[in-house]
Amino acid sequence: MEDFLANPLNLLIFTPAIGALVVAALPKGQNQLARWTALGLSLIPLMIALGLFFAIQDMQANDGGFYYEYTTEWFPQIGASWHVGVDGVSVAMAILTAILTPLSILIAFENVKNPRAILALILFLETAMLGVFLTLDMVAFFIFWELGLVPMYFIINQWGGENRAYASNKFFIYTMAGSLGLLLSIQLMAFSVGDIAGLDTPTFDIQTWYEQWPGYEGGEDGEILGVNYSNVKYLAFLAFFLAFAIKIPIWPFHTWLPDAHTEAPTAGSMLLAGVLLKQGAYGFIRLVIPLFPDIVAQSYTPVIPVLGTELDFMVLDFATILAFLGMLGIVLGAFAAWAQDDFKKLVAYSSVNHMGFVVVGIAVMAVVYSTVWAIDNEDYVLALDAGNHALVDEDIEEYGDQAAAAYGFSSPATTIEDMTAEQQQLLARYKVEAVLELDTTEEGRHTGTLQDGMVALNGTVLQMFNHGLSAAGMFLLVGALYHKAHTRDLRRFGGLWHTVPAFSALMVFTSMASLGLPGLNGFTGEWLIVAGSFRLFPILILLSMIGLLLTGAYILKGIQKELQGPPNQEWIDYHENEHSLEVNLREMIAMAPLVALMLLTGVYPNWILEVIDSTVSSIFGMV
């Protein structure tokens, strides 16, 4: 037990839950006490998380592993263990969670209805969120993943807006629907991996999965549970994909988001947009792509169901589809945000828009990671496939001689089909080096495809962190005004700039961060993603620039409808006589860390990027 408590990650995960119990156990009616207790307790995980971050920053040893790992027996009958660990990516998400939770508790002070309950739920939610980011065991992962839904469901359902019942049900059921397949796949994979590793029990350890699962081609007969292994793997992949895609959310699985974000109370929206969405992206980076590089790499020709016609003019692979959906999220999300008259819904749609960039970044990671994986496994045909190339007959003439000289390739065949698998591999090996720009020379490393992947993945994680800050800030401000004015209808506001100067200044600042103004945080991530993905998806990136353009349109629309225009006498009277519309001290204190971090990350992103980068490099096996 002492051992258990000595590990900072265990402490980090469980202090909020204990805090939740404490807050819940406080005597009824002691609302003020509950508020300050909750705030105080939420500062403990913040301290731990920051300490953790600085410790990792100091260590700088990017050996590809996890820090502060802790393993203990937990549920030996089914092979589940308690295994936690942290790396650069998860520590970024952990500090984001630990920063946003106290701020949202500070904002939840304004909820007068049963404050103990909402505060306890927020603390409980923090445990679930941190658990997802820090655990390295799939059973624990899944439990935390599902646990996060419950408090959020109640937060929306009990403290939400008018349409809260619909929104909370949609959120809950939609996410649950995604998780069902995830659960089945986890079990299936645990049994298979346990089998491969020669264990008596299934194993849920993620690191063991990394080693065993990706190249697994079924038992002796190429089957898993009696079915062709590739079909099973593909189904498992789809289940993983769906679960995380709904959570990010990837277009077209996004429609729960505007409803849930809009109806949730401000504190809930902050955590929902700030952290919960990142779990989906984290799932892709931590699980989907490292576990299924072989599936991700494969391209295939779509077949029309029933008719069986092959659409051979179109070669699809997962990464391209993902990038395409990311582009649609960016563009259509921006369009939809622009169309809104409800300010909170506008901000909610902006999350679809911004997370679209994360999706594009993940697509780049998928291409580069699967290529690197295939090369490491000496499957050069697959590596070509992953990089959207194929071995074609002309290659025999073009690369045949060089391949013969380099790798002893020789074949009398004139078409690829006539060659043996071994000959194909030899030829492909040469072509990989010729086309994929993965060469190991100094220049090639710096400007090749591998570097694209690193740039894009760094940008993706940074964008996750940045969106957490700016989305939380936007929701905070929108909520601050809504709380006082009792309306979010943009058409009713206007001309408030000098009436509420502090609010306006914060609003313009946060809007600009969200818009991606260089010098503030939003820009750094977006730029890295665009830079890293342009060579792989040039057309899609150019199309998504329409979305980036419209980001400006909807952000300026928000500013204009609230702050610009002739002074609105209705609100000035309201402001002077009934209720001040200006941000109050509590809200300013909650905004201050966000403003500081947005500025810091914009001006000097390396404070966090350095930590992220060490893990990103090790993800691609480049230590």
CA–centroid distance for 483 within its chain: 29
| 3-class state of residue 168 by DSSP | helix
Report in angstroms how near the CB of residue 331 gets to other proteins at its nearest.
Answer: 8
Among 181, 215, 400, 495, binds other proteins (CB under 8 A): 495
222 binds other proteins (CB under 8 A): no
Report in angstroms how near the CB of residue 72 gets to other proteins at its nearest.
Answer: 34
Residues 451-470 interacting with other proteins (rule: CB under 8 A):
451-452, 454-455, 458
Class of residue 254 by CB neighbours under 10 A (exposed 0-12, middle 13-18, buried 19+): buried
**8 Å CB contact between 466 and 601:** yes
Tokens, residue 481: 């005004």
Nearer CB in complex with other proteins: 155/454 = 454
Residues 565-584 interacting with other proteins (rule: CB under 8 A):
565-567
Class of residue 470 by CB neighbours under 10 A (exposed 0-12, middle 13-18, buried 19+): buried
**8 Å CB contact between 466 and 474:** no
Nearer CB in complex with other proteins: 396/536 = 536
Among 327, 362, 512, 540, binds other proteins (CB under 8 A): 512
Nearer CB in complex with other proteins: 413/623 = 623
Tokens, residue 159: 């403290």
- State the virtual CA torsion across 106, 110, 113, 118 in degrees, nearest 10: -20
The piece of 43-51, 71-79, 260-268, 541-549 that touches other proteins (CB under 8 A) is 541-549
For residue 510, what are the CA distances in angstroms to 351, 465, 500, 549, 608?
14, 15, 15, 18, 20
552 binds other proteins (CB under 8 A): yes
**8 Å CB contact between 431 and 401:** no
**8 Å CB contact between 449 and 436:** yes
Among 165, 303, 406, 505, binds other proteins (CB under 8 A): 505
Q: What is the rounded CA–CA span in Å between residue 550 and residue 440? A: 40
Report in angstroms how near the CB of residue 466 gets to other proteins at its nearest.
Answer: 13
183 binds other proteins (CB under 8 A): no
227 binds other proteins (CB under 8 A): yes
Question: How many Cα atoms sit within 13 Å of 471 on the Cβ side?
Answer: 33
Residues 319-378 interacting with other proteins (rule: CB under 8 A):
332, 335-336, 338-340
Nearer CB in complex with other proteins: 468/605 = 605
Specify the DSSP element, H or E, that contains 225: none
Tokens, residue 568: 């609105």
Among 107, 524, 558, 590, binds other proteins (CB under 8 A): 524
**600 C-beta neighbours (distance < 10 Å), count:** 15
List phi, psi (to 5°) of 210: -55, -40
Residues 424-453 interacting with other proteins (rule: CB under 8 A):
443, 445-447, 450-452
Nearer CB in complex with other proteins: 18/588 = 588
Nearer CB in complex with other proteins: 121/246 = 246
Tokens, residue 491: 């058409």
Q: What is the rounded CA–CA span in Å between residue 489 and residue 557? A: 13
Residues 163-182 interacting with other proteins (rule: CB under 8 A):
170, 173-174
Report in angstroms how near the CB of residue 351 gets to other proteins at its nearest.
Answer: 14
With contacts defined by CB under 8 A, how many residues of the chain interact with other proteins?
Answer: 71
Among 330, 541, 590, 598, binds other proteins (CB under 8 A): 541
The alpha helices in 30-137, defined as continuous H runs, are 31-59, 88-108, 115-134
The piece of 91-99, 117-125, 249-257, 278-286 that touches other proteins (CB under 8 A) is 249-257
Tokens, residue 73: 């027996």
**8 Å CB contact between 539 and 375:** no
Nearer CB in complex with other proteins: 149/332 = 332
The piece of 268-276, 282-290, 496-504, 585-593 that touches other proteins (CB under 8 A) is 496-504
Report in angstroms how near the CB of residue 325 gets to other proteins at its nearest.
Answer: 13
Residues 387-426 interacting with other proteins (rule: CB under 8 A):
none
Among 527, 574, 584, 593, binds other proteins (CB under 8 A): 527
Q: What is the rounded CA–CA span in Å between residue 434 and residue 384? A: 11
Nearer CB in complex with other proteins: 13/454 = 454
DSSP 8-state class, residue 27:
P
The piece of 154-162, 306-314, 391-399, 557-565 that touches other proteins (CB under 8 A) is 557-565
